[in-house]
Structure 1
């Protein structure tokens, strides 16, 4: 088990938020190997996202998040623990510079509020659940119609959004080709 600055072993209540801080703020992907069981099961409420089984899938998720939001920052707001489970209410902020949930880079800032439940077996996370406000992120990225748009406004917003996302995807491909040519 990890230890605190005074040398005592950390329990799940202290370890849970520390793991999330090390992963998201310090970009320490090694925390996954150190603190997640190799067969960890991760439940994410993303459309089309199956349950992630094992540390390789969790590592890829983290790397994709770092690519999408290079300035990603995490803040734990509240921690509640009971037995082998820890709930961390937190928020992630960042600027979308890469593909996020299939959306091309918009350059817009996002703030995601979430609840993460970590179930421990000793000092290893063996199961993780996340509930997050992804609809708010879609709104911040300009994907959802503005409030009060009405039926015609919603249709117009949809057409503008499809065109804008297509243009952003083309711009990103051109940027990638230029970078590869250098």
Structure 2
């Protein structure tokens, strides 16, 4: 892949993160339609019964209900070929039910790393590692 193609993929990923930080479910859904392949391969814990871009939309729906002010800070990106890796810090205030935990009002901060594979200028595959244990500990759902 050319350097320009790699730069375009990184720019697309930054557009995606900027959109999810809007906190607007409709804006996020439209961005997923535009930036993500409909048959997205999504290798992360997702709600059962959904695949592709629809699964990603559902993930953001759940996150926004639980953490309406959720913010993804991209700490660094690494690009190579058709892949972009993003190391992120996520913050938000727990205002809605999450993983069976009722709202606590607590502010949470956790880390995640995602690898995005691009095809035809769109996100075609996502692999992620999210520090869910840290998140659940901060919500009081697990012992410290």
Q: What TM-score comes out, normalization by structure 1 length?
A: 0.68
1:21 aligns with: 18
User: Bigger relative contact order, structure 1 or 2, given CA contacts below 8 A and separation 6+?
Assistant: 2
Q: 1:26 to 1:142 in 2, by over 3 A?
A: closer
Indicate if the aligned counterparts of 1:41 and 1:51 stay in contact, CA closer than 8 A: no
Aligned length: 136
Q: Return the offset for 1:59.
A: 0.9
Indicate if the aligned counterparts of 1:43 and 1:51 stay in contact, CA closer than 8 A: no
| Higher strand content, 1 or 2 | 2
2:52 aligns with: 54
Indicate if the aligned counterparts of 2:23 and 2:68 stay in contact, CA closer than 8 A: no
Counting only pairs closer than 5 Å after superposition, residues 1-182 of structure 1 correspond to structure 2 as 11-25=8-22, 27=24, 28-29=27-28, 30-44=30-44, 46=45, 53-146=51-144
The runs of 5 or more residues in structure 2 that have no matched partner are 1-6
